[in-house]
């Protein structure tokens, strides 16, 4: 009896210690991020290191100490270096934190090596510490004073950042996600007075728009011409070089500013993927990159005459090479490449539209940079994003809701880039999505599948799917395939795909059409049907699909927004969130039943016995902290569980009813913009 009490007490103290460490970490984050009190944050992070038992948490705290010292400015760079080195020395098993620490040490080293030397020497400077655009869809102005961005924290509005003043201004004024509108890629006009950008309209289609840097009414240059992505603006301001993504092709074209007319230069099959393109300073040539024929995850560089007639291979190599742009004198094309095993900056000399000599290595160990563009003086602007999302598993007592085992990181591959966990029906496997992978097409998503028995993680790349939604996947009852939502073979978003869990071979089982795109699929336990949401701008329909016949039965048609659709284990009811209310709907149809009114619910899951709904709700005082609650399905008081985390979402209950998987973060992401100067290569004389 005494031994049993001792064991229970020891376990309780262990859980308390872990929870206390996490609480301390969250307090330190609040001091750092919300209050800007870096000294006190450093003290609290150090306390986490001294008192916490969780090695992963201690490593994250040590990394945050380095980041806090870095934020305090140049005088504290030595302390930042010491802190980052401790991450590497003391926590070698924490691969993601070690990777970030090494990148930070490399950047600090390069920054310090340039200080105190003549202006012609290389320099590196962080110009925006906390960018609102973690996808880095903007560009620097020609003079380098501004950078454009998409503010994903404010309904995907277009904005500009004044890098001299350290101030941001929104140019568009969306105030809701409901319209479906958003800004995407943007570049500045040659005189810096305007921005051209991609805009997704209410119908989900792309438009090319311009707007002044002071705001005002935007002008639509072209619409109904595919999805336009602006890449370069001619010096006289008369035309804009764009990618036009069509259902059947991907076109390179000029859009004329005067009347919005389009001149197509070259077409490629729609299966081709491209991200970067740049007009030469003399406007005679266009450099661009396309994915390789035999390896869709790697890109080669090409150069084309500005009339679209002649195309020449610029860089053909088994590695992944991505265009950065032309040097201001037009004599080199810059690109980044992983050919040496890590990402480095390279240049190739170009003469009369042809490569001259071999590529020249400019800078090594850059880390995962996201290029924004070059300015008139040859400065390169780029972004670096740490990622944030990981997969965690905790254990709950299904009767009391008490936390039996605190959250632990369940997927330790491609950390801070994983999302949307789901358990197989037999509980043997945990799958999730990852934005990183060995063979990903640019912008693609990988499936990671972890065995509960061996803890081995397999990586599966879905074939022929683009735009796979990062928020939901679902296992089939037989464990052979996984449901996901992405674009169809013609680029129409909202197709329901079944992905083979072994090979990645994918097939469409339901398509988007006039009644809406598909979201939030749930596979019924019988394996014969799927429940999902079809959404248009005006309506939300909950659908039951018979897979064998393709017949769709409408269960609910609502003008309200519907989120977090979740099927009960016995397939008798659906839970969802809409109009600030959690509701229940019979899978036979009828009117939904209101269960509880709540604000800021971001996830819903059923307990395995069907008695409770668990849901994530944003903390009242800290919008980035999410608490887990549960409520009896038959009504009663909601119960707050002792489970909270940054950005917690995607709750999924294990078939044993005890383990719960979710997406979350132990520390916030970092999104920085840097400027590199005085690095351009010299032109080699012909011998």
Model pLDDT for residues 652-683, shown as the tens digit of each residue:
999 999 999 999 998 877 889 999 999 998 76
Which tokens is 562 given?
């519907």
Q: CB neighbours of 10 closer than 8 A, spacing ≥ 6?
A: none
CATH code of 299's domain? 2.120.10.30
Residue 20: name the closest of 52, 50, 43 by CA.
52
Per-residue pLDDT at 452:
94
Tell me the pLDDT band of 74, cut-offs 50, 70 and 90. Answer: low
- 530 with 580, same domain? yes
Q: Read off the pLDDT of residues 590-621 as tens digits, 9 standing for 90 and up.
A: 999 999 999 999 999 999 999 999 999 998 76
Cα–Cα distance between 629 and 128 in angstroms, integer?
Answer: 37
CA 601 and chain centroid, separation: 21
Per-residue pLDDT at 293:
67
The residue segments making up the domain with residue 618 are 390-665
- 562 with 510, same domain? yes
Cα–Cα distance between 173 and 566 in angstroms, integer?
Answer: 33
Can you give the length of the chain in residues?
687
Cα–Cα distance between 686 and 240 in angstroms, integer?
Answer: 34
Comparing 625 with 669, the larger pLDDT belongs to: 625
In a domain, 618, yes or no: yes
Per-residue pLDDT at 404:
95
84-98, 108-122, 140-154, 195-209: least confident range? 108-122
In a domain, 181, yes or no: yes
Which contacts (CB < 8 Å, 24+ apart) does range 532-539 have?
532/496, 532/565, 533/562, 533/565, 535/494, 535/562, 537/179, 537/180, 537/202, 537/203
**463, 505 contact by CB (below 8 A):** yes
Tell me the pLDDT band of 24, cut-offs 50, 70 and 90. Answer: confident
Strands 601-606 and 612-618: antiparallel
Beta-bridge partners for 207: 199, 223
Mean pLDDT to the nearest integer, 420-445: 82
Half-sphere exposure of 441 (CA within 13 A, CB side): 21
Q: Read off the pLDDT of residues 282-328 as tens digits, 9 standing for 90 and up.
A: 999 999 998 776 555 578 999 999 999 999 999 988 888 899 999 99
- 108 with 160, same domain? no
CATH code of 10's domain? 1.25.40.10
Any idea of the CA torsion for 506, 512, 517, 519, to the nearest 10 degrees? -30
**156, 139 contact by CB (below 8 A):** no
Tell me the pLDDT band of 684, cut-offs 50, 70 and 90. Answer: low
Per-residue pLDDT at 18:
43
- 248 with 306, same domain? no
- 293 with 395, same domain? no
Phi/psi for 571 (5° steps) reads 60, 25
Per-residue pLDDT at 158:
97
Check whether 3 has a pLDDT greater than 60.
no
Per-residue pLDDT at 597:
96
Residue 276: name the closest of 303, 313, 258, 247 by CA.
303
Q: Report the first-to-last Cα separation within the chain, whole angstroms.
A: 90
Domain count, the chain: 4
User: Does the CA dihedral 508-468-545-655 come out positive or negative?
Assistant: positive
In a domain, 127, yes or no: no
348-357, 596-605, 622-631: least confident range? 622-631
Burial of residue 269 (CB within 10 Å: 0-12, 13-18, 19+) is exposed
Cα–Cα distance between 488 and 507 in angstroms, integer?
Answer: 10
In a domain, 123, yes or no: no
Phi/psi for 204 (5° steps) reads 80, 10
Check whether 9 has a pLDDT greater than 50.
no
Which tokens is 40 given?
């006190």
In a domain, 587, yes or no: yes
Mean pLDDT to the nearest integer, 52-67: 89
- 69 with 148, same domain? no
- Indicate whether this model's pTM tops 0.75: no
Which tokens is 51 given?
């008192």
Mean pLDDT to the nearest integer, 347-372: 89
Check whether 687 has a pLDDT greater than 70.
no
Strand residues in 163-281 grouped as ranges (E): 167-170, 182-188, 194-200, 206-212, 215-223, 227-233, 239-245, 249-256, 262-269, 277-279
- 350 with 233, same domain? no
331-335, 520-524, 676-680: least confident range? 676-680
Helix (H) or strand (E) segment spanning residue 99: helix 95-114
Cα–Cα distance between 356 and 84 in angstroms, integer?
Answer: 41
Mean pLDDT to the nearest integer, 187-202: 95
Residue 94: name the closest of 50, 55, 45 by CA.
55
- 441 with 495, same domain? yes
Tokens 């305007």: give the residue.
Answer: 194
3-state class (DSSP) for residue 103:
helix
- 240 with 298, same domain? no
In a domain, 118, yes or no: no
Mean pLDDT to the nearest integer, 428-446: 76
Q: Read off the pLDDT of residues 238-250 as tens digits, 9 standing for 90 and up.
A: 999 999 988 778 8
Comparing 301 with 439, the larger pLDDT belongs to: 301
Cα–Cα distance between 207 and 242 in angstroms, integer?
Answer: 12
Check whether 178 has a pLDDT greater than 80.
no
Cα–Cα distance between 580 and 596 in angstroms, integer?
Answer: 9
**551, 545 contact by CB (below 8 A):** yes
In a domain, 380, yes or no: yes
Check whether 523 has a pLDDT greater than 90.
yes
Per-residue pLDDT at 449:
97
Domain ends where: 60, 78, 113?
Answer: 113
Cα–Cα distance between 433 and 83 in angstroms, integer?
Answer: 32
Tokens 């369940």: give the residue.
Answer: 410
Beta-bridge partners for 554: 543
Domain ends where: 82, 113, 144?
Answer: 113
Per-residue pLDDT at 294:
59
In a domain, 674, yes or no: no
Check whether 113 has a pLDDT greater than 70.
no
Helix (H) or strand (E) segment spanning residue 414: none
CA-to-CA dists, residue 226 to 197, 469, 659, angstroms? 14, 21, 46
Check whether 20 has a pLDDT greater than 70.
no
Q: What does the H/E/C string look like for 316-345? A: CCCCCEEEEEECCCCCEEEEEECCCCCCEE
Tell me the pLDDT band of 12, cut-offs 50, 70 and 90. Answer: very low
Q: Check residue 466 and report its DSSP letter.
A: B
Per-residue pLDDT at 29:
84
Comparing 165 with 180, the larger pLDDT belongs to: 165
Tokens 């991907």: give the residue.
Answer: 250
Domain ends where: 333, 356, 385?
Answer: 385
- 368 with 417, same domain? no
- 85 with 159, same domain? no
- 232 with 358, same domain? no
Check whether 78 has a pLDDT greater than 80.
yes
Burial of residue 281 (CB within 10 Å: 0-12, 13-18, 19+) is middle
Cα–Cα distance between 545 and 528 in angstroms, integer?
Answer: 9
Average pLDDT value over all residues in the chain: 88
């Amino acid at each position: 009896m005494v031994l049993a009490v001792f064991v229970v007490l020891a376990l309780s103290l262990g859980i308390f210690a872990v929870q206390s460490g996490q609480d301390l970490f969250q307090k330190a984050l609040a001091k750092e991020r919300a209050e800007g009190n870096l000294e006190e944050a450093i003290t609290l992070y150090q306390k986490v290191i001294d008192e916490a038992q969780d090695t992963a948490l201690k490593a994250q705290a040590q990394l945050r100490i380095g980041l806090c010292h870095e934020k305090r400015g140049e005088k504290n760079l030595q302390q930042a270096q010491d802190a980052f080195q401790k991450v590497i020395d003391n926590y070698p098993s924490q691969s993601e934190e070690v990777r970030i620490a090494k990148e930070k040490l490399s950047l600090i080293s390069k920054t310090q090596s340039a200080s105190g030397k003549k202006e012609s020497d290389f320099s590196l400077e962080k110009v925006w510490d906390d960018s609102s655009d973690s996808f880095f869809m903007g560009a620097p102005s020609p003079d380098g004073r501004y950078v454009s961005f998409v503010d994903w924290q404010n309904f995907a509005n277009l904005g500009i950042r004044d890098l001299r003043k350290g101030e941001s201004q929104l140019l568009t004024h969306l105030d809701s996600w409901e319209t479906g509108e958003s800004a995407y890629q943007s570049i500045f006009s040659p005189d810096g007075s305007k921005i051209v950008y991609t805009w997704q309209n209410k119908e989900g289609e792309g438009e090319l728009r311009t707007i002044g840097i002071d705001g005002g009414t935007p002008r639509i240059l072209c619409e109904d011409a595919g999805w336009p992505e602006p890449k370069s603006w001619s010096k006289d301001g008369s035309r804009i070089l764009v990618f036009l993504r069509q259902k059947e092709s991907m076109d390179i074209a000029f859009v004329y500013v005067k009347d919005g007319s389009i001149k197509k230069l070259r077409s490629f099959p729609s299966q081709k993927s491209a991200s970067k393109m740049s007009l030469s300073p003399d406007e005679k040539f266009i450099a661009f990159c396309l994915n390789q024929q035999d390896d869709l995850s790697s890109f080669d560089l090409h150069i084309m005459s500005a009339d679209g007639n002649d195309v020449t291979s610029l860089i053909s190599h088994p590695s992944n090479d991505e265009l950065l742009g032309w040097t201001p004198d037009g004599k080199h094309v810059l690109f980044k490449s992983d050919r040496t095993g890590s990402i480095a900056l390279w240049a190739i000399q170009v003469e009369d539209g042809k490569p001259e000599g071999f590529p020249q290595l400019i800078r090594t160990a850059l880390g995962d940079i996201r290029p924004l563009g070059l300015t008139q003086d040859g400065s390169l602007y780029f972004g670096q994003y740490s990622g944030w999302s990981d997969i965690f598993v905790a254990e709950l007592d299904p009767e009391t809701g008490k936390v039996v085992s605190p959250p632990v990181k369940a997927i330790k591959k491609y950390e801070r880039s994983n999302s949307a966990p789901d358990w197989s029906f037999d509980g043997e496997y945990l799958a999730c999505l990852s934005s990183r992978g060995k063979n990903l097409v640019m912008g693609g998503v990988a499936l990671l599948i972890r065995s509960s028995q061996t803890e081995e993680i397999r990586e599966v790349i879905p074939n022929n799917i683009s735009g796979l939604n990062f928020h939901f996947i679902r296992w089939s009852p037989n464990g052979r395939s996984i449901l996901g939502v992405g674009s169809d073979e013609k680029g129409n978003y909202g197709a329901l795909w079944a992905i083979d869990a072994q090979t990645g071979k994918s097939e469409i089982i339901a398509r988007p059409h006039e009644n809406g795109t598909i979201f939030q699929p749930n596979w019924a336990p019988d394996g014969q049907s799927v429940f999902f949401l079809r959404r248009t701008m005006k309506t939300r329909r909950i659908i039951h699909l018979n897979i064998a016949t393709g017949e769709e039965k409408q269960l609910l048609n609502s003008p309200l927004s519907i989120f977090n659709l979740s099927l009960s284990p016995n397939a008798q009811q659906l839970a969802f969130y809409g109009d600030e209310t959690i509701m229940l709907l019979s899978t036979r149809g009828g009117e939904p039943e209101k269960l509880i009114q709540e604000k800021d619910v971001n996830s819903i899951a059923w307990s395995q016995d069907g008695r409770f709904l668990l849901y994530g709700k944003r903390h009242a005082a800290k919008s980035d902290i999410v608490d887990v609650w549960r409520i009896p399905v038959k009504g009663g008081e909601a119960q707050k569980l002792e489970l909270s985390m940054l950005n917690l979402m995607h709750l999924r209950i294990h078939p044993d009813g005890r383990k719960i998987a979710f997406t979350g973060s132990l520390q916030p992401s970092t999104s920085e913009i840097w400027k590199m100067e005085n690095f351009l290569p010299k032109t080699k004389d012909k011998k």
